Amino acid sequence: MRSSLISNRLLMILLAVLSFAAMQAFAESRYVTENSQAASMESCVAPTDLMRRNHMDFLQHGRDDTVRDGVRGLKYSLAECIDCHASRDAKGQAVSVTAEGEFCQACHGYVAVSPACFQCHRTTPDESGSGKSLGYRLDGHSRALDMQQPAGR
């Protein structure tokens, strides 16, 4: 009786530890492609959960401000998404974010949406330098972003 109690307790503790580790791993899991600038950063311009769910709204809101009112350098910029999230192949060439398994395509394919962004917007970082005068943050956003946003923000 006594020995089974101990083993039950041990089992419970073991389960708790394991599930805690699993949940923590889930909470910190990354959804970026290897060899992209994003892979070396702690978070996107906003917390990952927020970006994952709302990036389309952020971009849709910002596009009118930029195209119609000329407001540039917004926090949410499609050009910056691509600069940061495009991965690089073995030769250092940027891979299209809409290529099979790449950052944009992988998720859009999974949820079966086909956004029209890339009919007009390029899918690799523009390295010709023509965007340098745009006020776009080609150097990527600040690397010292929050690692953890305080709750309630």
Partner 1 sequence: MSNKSDQPSVERRQFIGGTLAAAGALTLAPGVILHAAGSADKTTSGASGEHRWGMLIDANKCADGCSACVDACNSEHGLTDLGRPETDAVWIRPVKLKDKQTGHVDRLVMMCQHCEHPPCVDVCPTNASFKRIDGVVLVDRHRCIGCRYCMMACPYKARSFVHEALSEQSVAAPRGKGCVEGCTLCVHRIDAGEMQTACQEACTREGHNAIVFGDMKDPDSEISRILKSHNSVQIRADLELNTGVRYLNL
Q: How many CB atoms lie within 10 A of CB 30?
A: 11
Contact flag: residue 115 with partner 1 (CB under 8 A): no
Contact flag: residue 69 with partner 1 (CB under 8 A): yes
* Distance from C-alpha of 90 to C-alpha of 103, rounded to nearest angstrom: 17
Structure token digits, residue 32? 């970026």
Contact flag: residue 108 with partner 1 (CB under 8 A): no
Contact flag: residue 112 with partner 1 (CB under 8 A): no
* Distance from C-alpha of 143 to C-alpha of 1, rounded to nearest angstrom: 57
To which residue do tokens 């419970």 refer? 12
Among 50, 88, 99, 105, binds partner 1 (CB under 8 A): 50
When the beta carbons of 30 and 72 are compared against partner 1, the nearer one is 72
When the beta carbons of 49 and 89 are compared against partner 1, the nearer one is 49
Contact characters 2-41, partner 1, x per CB under 8 A: ------------------x--xx--xx-------------
Residue among 102, 101, 64, 111 nearest 81 (CA): 102
Helix (H, G, I), strand (E, B) or coil at 36: strand
- The CB-of-34 to partner 1 minimum distance in angstroms stands at 23
* Distance from C-alpha of 147 to C-alpha of 143, rounded to nearest angstrom: 10
Contact 31, 105 (CB under 8 A): no
Among 2, 3, 68, 112, binds partner 1 (CB under 8 A): 68
Residue 3 DSSP label: H
Interacting residues with partner 1 (CB under 8 A) = 20, 23-24, 27-28, 47, 49-50, 53-54, 57-58, 61, 63-65, 67-75, 79, 119-124, 126, 128, 130-131, 133-137, 141-142, 144-149, 151-152
